[in-house]
Amino acid sequence: MDEVTKFISRIDHKIRKSDSIALLSILEEVSGYKPFLSGSIIGFGKYHYKYESGLEGDSAVIAFSPRKQNLVVYLMSGFDKFEDLLKELGKHKLGKSCLYINKLSDLKPNVFKKIIKLSVQNMQQKYQCKNT
């Protein structure tokens, strides 16, 4: 059992656990990247960023975390280009690069996958992304 599978297997909340298993499959399939664990975040693909301030580092192209209150999907490209799709997505809340969802069944799967695909493509156009 790899570390991502072990991490998900320790989730107590039944729906959060089954949604995490489904998200793992969806994000791997749509992104084309293998999952990796970074603390409590499951990432897919990596890119290197460097800000004008000189701060630089590596981050996941797309990621999710099964939090206690909800699932958080991290769309590093932000949401500016997805406003119309977000209106169709279903029940969710937004943060800067965070999509907060209570359960996957609240979302329209085809719209969700389209947002993921476009987000990954945006990151690939902006950065040199690689598998871990």
Compute the 3-state secondary structure of the chain and give helix, strand, coil in percent, each to the nearest 5: 40, 30, 30
Is 23 within 8 Å of 43 (Cβ atoms)?
no
User: What residue segments make up the domains of the chain, in order of their start?
Assistant: 3-125
CATH of domain 3-125: 3.90.1150.200
pLDDT at 1 over 70: no
Dump pLDDT digits (tens) for 77-103: 888 889 999 999 999 999 989 999 999
Banded pLDDT at 129 (limits 50, 70, 90): confident
Mean pLDDT of 4-29: 96
Q: How far apart are CA 15 and CA 8, in angstroms?
A: 12
**Averaged pLDDT for residues 35-62:** 94
Q: Which whole number is the average pLDDT over 7-35?
A: 96
Sheet containing strand 56-66, strands side by side? 35-38, 41-50, 56-66, 71-75, 98-101, 93-94
The DSSP bridge partners found for residue 58 are: 48
How far apart are the C-alpha atoms of 96 and 20, rounded to whole Å? Answer: 22
pTM of the prediction?
0.93
Specify the 3-state DSSP secondary structure of 99: strand
In percent, the amount of the chain with pLDDT more than 70 equals 99
For residue 29, pLDDT over 70 is answered with yes
Between the two ends of the chain, the Cα-to-Cα distance in Å is 18
Res 16: pLDDT: 96
